[in-house]
Amino acid sequence: MKNLLKATLYRVWKSSGVKIVFMITVVVAALYYMCGNMVAGGSIDAAGAGSVTGLGDAMILWIFGPLVTAMVIGSDFENKTIHGAIGYGRGKVIVNDMLVYAICMLVLTLPYILGSVLCLAGGVNMEGAQMTAVSACMDTVIRYNETYGVGKVILTYLAFACVTVGQISICVPVAVKVKKPVIVTAFGFFFGMITALLATLASKVEAFQNVYKLTPYAYGLAEVNLDAEVSDLLLAILISMIFTGVMGLVAWLLFKKAEIK
């Protein structure tokens, strides 16, 4: 298992595709904060501020997250490298894939988290850029003042990262089932677009809301921010971790019965 994990991480580290995705994410995150600051300063008007949100993590991570998931998992099937890994046992293969997936998603959130930290450290003024905030990253810069402790800020970032891992984990069983990176990426992008519709449905259908609140999709900016209670942030982390585990279980059940060609 340890050797399998090392081999997979090495393959991801050497993957030019993953490196390109990460570099693009860094550039887009930098543009996001730069444009946010321009909105705050008035250089970009309210009409243009809506376009800035397209650079935010809520959009970008739902594009690149499924893509990286497909590169890590789906490509194993497409390139036939799964035959070498399956000797460790199908259960261990899925555990390995889930660990690598989680690591990749956490790394993918870093450009936005570190961008937020740098803005805080540099005292960048984002007052007036509220309309560009799509997650805790930009929102933390806007809300932050001396009344918030460092521990609360770190916990907020951690909750954001864990929720992101949990939300995109739905792509893992899809990658195991369809085995096609292009389909996984398309599914992830489409599903990311309809998450807002799920929130609307949950607000109107009580039966669905009871299920919805047990998923990471119920934890958006309104629930994960500096003003949230510590218990609520911890709950968001716990639910996201459990949901990710459930997606791993679904992936294992699919892989257990899959025919490997």
- Taking the C-alpha atoms of residue 141 and residue 127, their distance in angstroms, rounded to an integer, is 9
Backbone angles phi, psi at 35, to 5 degrees: -70, -35
- Taking the C-alpha atoms of residue 224 and residue 234, their distance in angstroms, rounded to an integer, is 10
Is residue 26's pLDDT more than 70? yes
Q: Which of 28-42, 107-121, 137-151 has the highest mean pLDDT?
A: 107-121
**Helical residues (DSSP H) of the chain, grouped into ranges:** 2-14, 16-41, 46-52, 57-69, 75-78, 82-85, 90-121, 136-143, 150-168, 171-178, 181-204, 206-212, 230-257
- Taking the C-alpha atoms of residue 114 and residue 110, their distance in angstroms, rounded to an integer, is 6
Collapsed DSSP state (helix, strand, coil) of residue 67? helix
Please report, as a single letter, which amino acid is at residue 76: D
Q: Which helix (H) or strand (E) holds 134?
A: none
Predicted confidence at residue 160, as pLDDT, reads 94
Is residue 59's pLDDT more than 90? no
CA 106 vs CA 22, 79, 151, 226: distances in Å: 11, 25, 19, 20
Model pTM greater than 0.85?
Answer: yes
Of residues 103 and 135, which shows the higher confidence score?
Answer: 103
